[in-house]
Amino acid sequence: MSLIKKKPIYKRILLKLSGEALLGNQEHGIDAELCANLAAQVKEVHSLGVKICLVVGGGNIFRGQVASKRFGLERSVADYMGMLATVLNGLALQNALEQNGIATRVMTAIEMAAIAEPYIRRRAIRHLEKDRVVIFVAGTGNPYFTTDTAAALRAKEVGADVILKATKVDGVYSADPVIDKTATKFKELKYIDVLNRNLKVMDSTAISMCMDHEMPIVVFNLLQEGNIKKVVLGEEIGTTVK
């Protein structure tokens, strides 16, 4: 059966993007071509009638935890700076999506009324009902929490069916496949296995939250064009944590 004839197995998804996913081949900043490609993939899934929201990190611009250790910044200050980096990425994604004709809303956990809406759960759900793509930025709005945790929180709040964790590798491995050539890929994992084996899927807070609320996670390679659609249509790619 062709992909065109298949129907989405998810009605509402949360796509989790790391800041590094927007780097492309650059060492720093945002790759405009990659953003455009991502927007085209999101549009393809959106055209299937799937409700889409995104949580984006800021590691391509500023990573709070790393900066705190490297430059001696107070951790809370560094984390707030990292949250602002996610806003830059969110605006770049909004621009790319709207150039593809998709109505979007950027919603921020830290109020900045001139450029984005404050995050209000009911308003976010209403945007999704109106077929707008919603981009959640500034994490949870609190230091010491990652954008992984923000993704788990927002997914539950807006009633998403799944978290799609987009990465640069094609799933979860027993070890870093770049370093360890004997590393094996997992097709499916349980939440508790991720925690016990300290597998780098999402941070432990996010995994625990997903486990408590039975929110499935699919980890897949974003760089392979068409993979978002394949996951939504039920193709067996990447690694599923449930």
Per-residue pLDDT averaged across 198-222, rounded? Answer: 94
Per-residue pLDDT averaged across 131-160, rounded? Answer: 97
- The one-character DSSP state at 119 is P
The alpha carbon of residue 58 and the mean position of all alpha carbons in its chain are separated, in whole angstroms, by 11
- Of 34-43, 65-74, 81-90, 218-227, the one with minimum mean pLDDT is 65-74
Query: What pLDDT shows up at residue 64?
Result: 66
- Of 3-17, 19-33, 143-157, the one with minimum mean pLDDT is 19-33
Question: Is 24 or 49 the better-scoring residue by pLDDT?
Answer: 49
Report yes or no: 194 and 207 within 8 Å, Cβ to Cβ. yes
- Of 58-62, 144-148, 231-235, the one with minimum mean pLDDT is 58-62
Identity of residue 26: Q
Give yes or no for residue 4 having a pLDDT over 70. Answer: no
Give yes or no for residue 54 having a pLDDT over 50. Answer: yes
How far apart (Å, rounded) are the C-alpha atoms in residues 147 and 116?
A: 18
Per-residue pLDDT averaged across 200-223, rounded? Answer: 94
Give yes or no for residue 23 having a pLDDT over 90. Answer: no
Quickly count: other Cβ atoms within 10 Å of residue 103's Cβ. 12
Q: Encode pLDDT of 179-205 as tens digits.
A: 888 889 999 999 999 999 999 889 999
Query: What pLDDT shows up at residue 1?
Result: 46
Looking at every residue in the chain, the average pLDDT score rounds to 92
DSSP-derived 3-state class of residue 236: coil
Domain of residue 69: give its range.
3-241
Question: Is 193 or 66 the better-scoring residue by pLDDT?
Answer: 193
Give yes or no for residue 172 having a pLDDT over 70. Answer: yes
CATH of the domain at 8: 3.40.1160.10
Where does the pLDDT of residue 168 fall: very low under 50, low under 70, confident under 90, or very high at 90 and above? confident
Query: What pLDDT shows up at residue 142?
Result: 96
Domain count, the chain: 1
- Of 48-52, 152-156, 174-178, the one with minimum mean pLDDT is 174-178
∠213-214-218 over CA atoms, to 5°?
125
Query: What pLDDT shows up at residue 176?
Result: 80
Give yes or no for residue 90 having a pLDDT over 50. Answer: yes
Give yes or no for residue 2 having a pLDDT over 80. Answer: no
How far apart (Å, rounded) are the C-alpha atoms in residues 51 and 14?
A: 9
Query: H/E/C letters for each residue in 37-90?
Result: HHHHHHHHHHCCCCEEEEEECCCCCCCHHHHHHHHCCCHHHHHHHHHHHHHHHH
Number of helices (H), then strands (E), in the chain? 8, 11
For the chain, give the percent of residues with pLDDT over 90.
Answer: 72
